Amino acid sequence: MSAVAQVQQVAKTVAVSTGKVANAKSMMIWRPHGNKMFETFSFLPPLSDAEIAKQCQYLLNNGWTPCIEFEDAEHAYADGHGWSNLDSSINSLYYDNRYWVMWKLPMYGCQNTDEVLAEVNMAKKCFPDCYIRVVGFDNIKQVQCAGFLVYRPASGAACAVDKRQIQG
């Protein structure tokens, strides 16, 4: 009358895996030191002017106002500060009392990515020891909708891609 449930024996694994033999070594450990990342795309190699222009065009296509911000290395990165003690390096656009200095005013009415690139290049020239990012503001919702790093100072160079993870 009562059926006995069949219990399937599962082989014990010694490591986390994606379940595919070909991917057994794809699970990597993130190196926590010298691996500071900021905003969207900061894990990539530096963006070219053409790549920055494409991202700026995305901001403009969505009706967002580009704004350029910069900050020195000491204040740009939030690592366990504020009341939350949260390492915000993994949270794009999470502030927790971490505000960057605005380069001029937001670029209200900007219609051309060349205008944004010119301002980014001027910010690089004036502040070569600072991080520089472009953010996109929605003037209707009154929120920041996008942000990406466009420049790292020589002292803040990102860890080489092949050095960012440890294979376990």
Q: What is the CATH number of the domain that holds 49?
A: 3.30.190.10
Structural domain includes residue 31: no
Structural domain including 110 reads: 38-158
> With a cut of 70, which residues of the chain have pLDDT below it?
1-36, 39, 78-98, 157-168
> What is the per-residue pLDDT for 7?
59
> What is the per-residue pLDDT for 70?
94
Distance of CA 40 to the CA centre of its chain: 3
End-to-end CA distance of the chain: 50
> What is the per-residue pLDDT for 44?
77
Structural domain includes residue 80: yes
Number of domains in the chain: 1
3-state secondary structure 10-52: CCCCCCCCCCCHHHCCCCEEECCCCCCCCCECCCCCCCCHHHH
> What is the per-residue pLDDT for 41?
75
pLDDT in tens, 104-133: 999 999 999 999 999 999 999 999 999 999
pTM of this structure: 0.71
> What is the per-residue pLDDT for 155?
79
